[in-house]
Structure 1
């Protein structure tokens, strides 16, 4: 999968400085994209609480976006390979995938997530400190 393919499948365009033909790497471990962190279940003390997962459509699911709705992080998966379960507060949700899936962001480009179970968290700021 390359960045151009991710952009074509979603309603999200990447900024011009990102190379469209670059292959998006698929990572098997802990990873971050901007203010999101993707944590393998194997690194957690126990599985997070989650709702029943829903299939990720081919055009993707917007996980989070800026206050103005711009700069979304979009989860992209082939049909029938990934479910997404939204969460509350610091946890954004849970990804369960049987094939590589991808996060797309206009400023950061794409990142691939290997098959598995993943907790997605959002960075948050409190009293001037940043906490993940």
Structure 2
């Protein structure tokens, strides 16, 4: 299937910014990748630190998508998009570092769409969606990292 930024934008109703090439095919990744202030990590890589809570409620991801996070600086949403019956999402997770927004399980390629960053595809599998952080010089509280603000 040849999914483009234009087709994802049309499917979700999310407009993307003019600087993005809408006709380009969206790449599919089967490993770690980032999009602005989010990082998508295969669950197997961090299963010792992140887990689905036993009482977790799962949501099927509809074709128009599920908003995972709205960017702090621009207010643009990161939206998980999937064909019907191919992906489920839960925010009921335990994360030792407190960075996880949730976990999704996909039986087919799914897409993460953002109006400013475009889209990336995720191959089938289980992934953790986390906030990204960056290292900084120690602040007056002694912190050496902060969340990336997109």
TM value normalised by structure 2: 0.79
Match of 1:98 among 94, 98, 107: 107
For the pair 1:38 / 2:40, whether they are aligned, the reply is yes
Cα-Cα RMSD: 2.2
Alignment partner for residue 115 of structure 1, among 124, 127, 134?
124
- Provide the secondary structure at the position in 2 that maps to 1:5: helix
What residue number does 1:65 align with?
A: 70
Post-superposition offset of 1:28:
0.5
Count of matched residue positions in the alignment of Structure 1 and Structure 2:
132
Q: Do the aligned partners of residues 61 and 3 (structure 1) sit closer, same or farther apart at CA in structure 2, a change above 3 Å counting?
A: same
Q: Contact conserved, 1:96 with 1:118, CA < 8 A, in 2?
A: yes
Relative to 1, partners in 2 of residues 1:87 and 1:122: Cα closer, same or farther, differing over 3 Å? Answer: farther
How far has the Cα of 1:129 moved from its partner? 2.9
* Cα separation, 1, equivalents of 2:118 and 2:80: 12
Question: Which structure 1 segments of 5+ residues have no match?
Answer: none
Deviations 1:64-83 (A, max 9, x none): 00358831000000000000
Q: Which protein is bigger by CA-based radius of gyration?
A: 2
Please, what TM-score do these two structures have when normalized by structure 1? Answer: 0.89
